[in-house]
Amino acid sequence: MDNNWIEQQAEFCAGLTEIRSRYPPHSDNQSGVDAESIVSALNQFQICVRYLNTRRSAGAILNLNSEADVQDAVYLMLRPWIHDLISESPTDRIANRYTIKDFISRQARTVIEIKYVRDASHGRHISKEMHDDIETYRHHPHCRTIIFFVYDPESLIPDNETLRTQIEEPRSYGGQPLRCILIVKP
């Protein structure tokens, strides 16, 4: 890793510390982590990005140009509160392929799937990608909620409300509910 990237990440963390002081957690007790608190934090994503990119100092600018960039920013944002947050581990092999889940909190029984809308075609077909993820995660023993965090910087998803309706519909597999939540930013 080059020093510039490390310096940018350190400055990003410093910015998060300031934001965290404005929005203190309810307690340091990890048992309070649930899908709703994760959704609440992810809804602050744009505030964190805006803060870092408009600071008065000549610090790091957060460029979100790929899914990996968004994953890094989300991880840095959530990790201080979700102590069992695990990133990028393969799920079981299904249909001769492994699926990589972006993050999981076993305590919250929640998978966080990050998507970055690359182009108009990807925006039109992202629903299929998410439905494939749902099909995979419904078998995961530590997943009762999937949070899809979609970063769509160019607003290329044609109809967010229709996508939300499709993704957030009630689901149950083998008597176990699987809740899906969609967050689209910016």
Kindly write down the DSSP assignment for every residue of 110-174, as one continuous string. Answer: EEEEEEE--SHHHHHHHHHHHHHHHHHHTT-TT-SEEEEEEE-TT---S-HHHHHHHHSS--EET
Predicted model pTM: 0.79
Question: Which helix H or strand E contains 52, and what residues bound it?
Answer: helix 45-53
pLDDT for 88 beyond 80: no
Residue burial 123-159, b: 16+ Cβ < 10 Å; e: rest: beebeeebeebbebbbebebbbbbbbbbbbeeeebee
Q: Give mean pLDDT, residues 84-101.
A: 63
Tokens coding 65: 């140009």
**Where do the domains of the chain lie, and which CATH numbers do they carry?**
3-185 (3.40.91)
The one-letter code for the residue type at 155 is S
pLDDT for 26 beyond 60: no
Q: For all residues of the chain together, what is the average pLDDT? A: 85
Q: Taking CA 132 as the corner, what is the angle to CA 42 and CA 107, rounded to the nearest 5 degrees? A: 45
- Better pLDDT: 91 or 129: 129
Lowest model confidence (mean pLDDT) among 28-37, 107-116, 150-159: 28-37
The band of 27, judged by pLDDT with boundaries at 50, 70 and 90, is very low
pLDDT per position as a tens digit, 44-71 = 999 988 888 887 777 778 889 999 999 9
Distance between the two ends of the chain, CA-based, in angstroms?
A: 29
Q: What's the rounded Cα separation, in Å, for the pair 72 and 66? A: 10
